[in-house]
Amino acid sequence: MTAPYADLANIASHTKHIIVTAQHMDGIDPGRGMGAVLPESIYQAGARAVFLNHAERPLQLAELVQSIEKAQDLGIKTIVCANSLEEARSIALLKPDILLCEPTELIGTGKTSDESYVQKTNSAIKEIDPNIFILQAAGISTPEDVYHTLQMGADGTGCTSGITEADSPAKMLEEMIEAVNRIYKEREEK
């Protein structure tokens, strides 16, 4: 669960089971960096994961390399976003914990990535590094979207507007979690 930087500590103090996640951090050490997001500060606040390179906060390649290194030093899991297949492959080489494939043009649209995009990015990433956990995320708005996306081979999915704009966000979230559980159970049975 991601939250604004200033809310991280409050959320971390009220939850036990959620991995509190920052929306970005800069790959810097304490010192200069007025206005930057200091990795040590989000760690102290309780964040144990961080998004990097989201379409709304894209990073230069050198910045991305530094942020991933810094996160590994501190024990913060990295969720790195990729738009195209080419980006996904380049990012996979940088050993993120989680790679989130999300065609920029579909974010917030309610349209999911097509099967060909999902399969190509999945297999390209696994070929480079089978240990990376893959999320396929764009346009997820129903439990069926979740089920279908995981069925295509993703390890997980993501969802913001599909939950926050549902009639009952809590119910939607529960049903989506059930869809994930169903898939993982089916996989074990195979």
Q: Among all chains, which residue has been given the structure tokens 């999320």?
A: 135
The residue from 24, 87, 102, 148 that is catalytic is 102
If the CB atoms of residues 103 and 156 are measured against its own copies, the closer one turns out to be 103
Note the residue count of the chain.
190
The yes or no reply on residue 113 touching its own copies (CB under 8 A) is no
Q: For residues 47 and 76, is the Cβ–Cβ distance under 8 A?
A: yes
The yes or no reply on residue 170 touching its own copies (CB under 8 A) is no
Known catalytic residue: 24? Answer: no
In the window 70-109, what residues touch its own copies (CB under 8 A)? 83-84, 86-87, 89-91, 93-94, 104, 108
Residue 177, both tokens: 């979690």
The yes or no reply on residue 169 touching its own copies (CB under 8 A) is no
Known catalytic residue: 17? Answer: no
Q: What are phi and psi of 58, to 5 degrees?
A: -70, 145
Q: For residues 50 and 21, is the Cβ–Cβ distance under 8 A?
A: yes
**Direct distance between the N- and C-terminal alpha carbons of the chain, in angstroms, rounded to an integer:** 30
The yes or no reply on residue 36 touching its own copies (CB under 8 A) is yes
What interhelical angle do 143-151 and 169-189 show, nearest 10?
30
To its own copies, the closest distance from the beta carbon of 12 in angstroms equals 10
The residue from 24, 54, 87, 148 that is catalytic is 54
Q: Which of 5, 19, 74, 133 binds its own copies (CB under 8 A)?
A: 5
* Active site members: 54, 102
